[in-house]
Amino acid sequence: MASTFTSLDYHVVFSTKYRKPLIHETFREELYQYLGGIIRAESGCLREVGGMPDHLHLLMGIPPTIAVSDAIRLIKANSSKWVNERDDHRGKFQWQPGYAAFSVSVSQRDVVGGYIQNQQEHHRQRNFREEFIELLDRHQIAYDPKFVFEQELVG
């Protein structure tokens, strides 16, 4: 489509299953690079990635030919498989079933990118649950707090 022009950037947030701290420093940077490869394979662009041991933030641009949900499904499926195939990872690595995705205008890319880069600092003041709820509220997304996170593991 020679006459189609888009700028489709998204701030995507998702966590590990039950928010277990499974994103270890030993492979975090490699995981980030792998995520970029998955996105590039779909003709997208990973603009920024960051997070904590229990969750990720992505700022990504994707083409109009792929739905956000499909992009995230590919990212989560391929990256969890990659982690589970590593020799330095013990146990089963899984992402939570859901995610949050927020559209980002070009004028806000640097702001969102800076936010993603400073995850360590942000989480000195609030946990992931508080951050996630704040993002939903800031973007005026209606939700029932009972269903925002899957149930915690018991015992």
Name the E strands within 28-131. 45-52, 55-61, 100-104
- Mean pLDDT score across all residues of the chain: 92
pLDDT at 1 over 80: no
Architecture category of domain 9-141 in CATH:
2-Layer Sandwich (3.30)
Which pLDDT does position 33 carry in this prediction?
98
**Coil, strand or helix: which one is 23?**
coil
Q: Which two tokens stand for residue 61?
A: 């641009």
Per-residue pLDDT band at 120 (split at 50, 70, 90): confident
- In tens, the pLDDT along 17-47 reads 999 999 999 999 999 999 999 999 999 999 9
pLDDT at 153 over 50: no
The secondary structure of 3-47 as a DSSP string is: T-----EEEEEEEBGGG-----TTTHHHHHHHHHHHHHHTT-EEE
pTM of the predicted protein model: 0.90
